[in-house]
Every structure is written in C-alpha cells, then in structure tokens.
Amino acid sequence: MKQIFLLLITCCMFSSCYECSDKSVTCTGYTEKGFSTWFPYAVNDKVIFSSGAAKDTFTIRTVYVSNPYQDRVSARHPFCNAEKSITSVEVNNNGAGKLFISNGQFNDVYASQQSVENLQIYLRGGGFAGKGISDTGIMRKDSDNQTSQFFSSLQMGSITYTNVQVIMADTLTAKNSRPYKIWISKNHGIIAYEEYPGKNLWLKQ
C-alpha cells in the first residue's frame, strides 16, 4: 500500500496531476460557426434535383443540435463533444441515409477549450470532408484528396448563385456510380452534384 501511495505522489509531482486525476465539467453545446448558413435546412424541407427528365428528392428528417451536458474528463480523455447533423428520410440501397451532413466539435478541456472540428457530407454514397466551415465554405483537411474552388458568383442552369464552393473528391478509388463533385452555396445549401463515372449533372430545382 505504501508503495502505491508513493507512486501516486510521484506521478502528481512530475505531471502536476495531469495524468493522475479527472474532473467534472460542463461541456458546452454546439457552437454555430456558419454551418446553418451553408446548410440552411429545416425538418420536412424537400430538396429536389433534376438531371434531364429524372428527379431525385431529399426530405429532411432530422436537424440535431447537441446541448450542454455534464461529463467527467481526464488528461487521457480530455474532450467535450458537440455536434450538429442533418439526415434525410430517403435511404440508399444499403439502408444508409441518402443525405447526411454533420459537423462535430471536439473541445480539449486541458488546452483552454481548444476546438477541433470535423465536417462530413455523405450524398448518395459519395463522401466529402473538411475541418470546419468558414466564409468561403468547407475548410479542406491537409490529408484529404479533395480539391475545392470558391466563386463569388456562379450560374448553375438558369439560376445565378453567390458565394459558391465547388468540391471535387478523388475518383481513383471510386467503384460505383456516386457523386464525386458537389456545389454548395451560402444560404442555399447543396445546389448541384455530379456523378462518377457518367458525369451526370444534377441541378437543384
């Protein structure tokens, strides 16, 4: 028992109890940083895209926003988690939602609430990701294989949109027909997507 006690004391002396203790904290809820501006969807909204005579409809099922909560954190598990996510009623053949958009926030309690974000978009099996969102759209991760371009104004079909970001995913590993390119516009959400390998363009109606 004495040896265990001395070991704990030594641990706290050399790490200022960083590794020795946990604590109860109030984790903040989701902090809005532009997500709702770029993806302004509400429950029961219908987003319809067309390609020629074909139509594709997404009905918004849920818009989830996490609230503040109590949790215990430690140096080994220092994060408070928060999230905003959007899901669709419609599903793919594998049962997953045809549309899923999520922005997760991970706040390190031991680093003055330093926040790391992880944004994901899944659209009809196509995946796009970023490290949060800014005035010019989704911020690219250093390790991903996506490219993006921002336009202050861009015409899509008969409609001219402002503040448009075009994101194109890597197609080297694409095996099935799925979106590899999306257009998003501030205050409008997803306004178009293009499938690979057929290059079929779907425009928002």
Buried b (16+ CB within 10 A) or exposed e, 189-201: bbbbbbbbeeeeb
What average pLDDT does the structure give for the chain?
Answer: 86
Residue that is written with structure tokens 């796009």 in the block: 128
The model's pLDDT over 74-109, given as tens digits with 9 standing for 90+, comes to 877 788 899 999 999 999 888 888 999 999 999 887
The model's pLDDT over 49-68, given as tens digits with 9 standing for 90+, comes to 999 999 999 999 999 999 99
The model's pLDDT over 167-197, given as tens digits with 9 standing for 90+, comes to 998 887 666 778 999 999 999 999 999 999 8
Residue that is written with structure tokens 């939602």 in the block: 97
CA angle 50, 169, 31 (to 5 degrees): 85
Selected residue with higher pLDDT from 191 and 19: 191
Residue 4: predicted pLDDT? 40
For the chain, give every domain's residue range: 23-204
**Does the model's pTM come out above 0.85?**
no
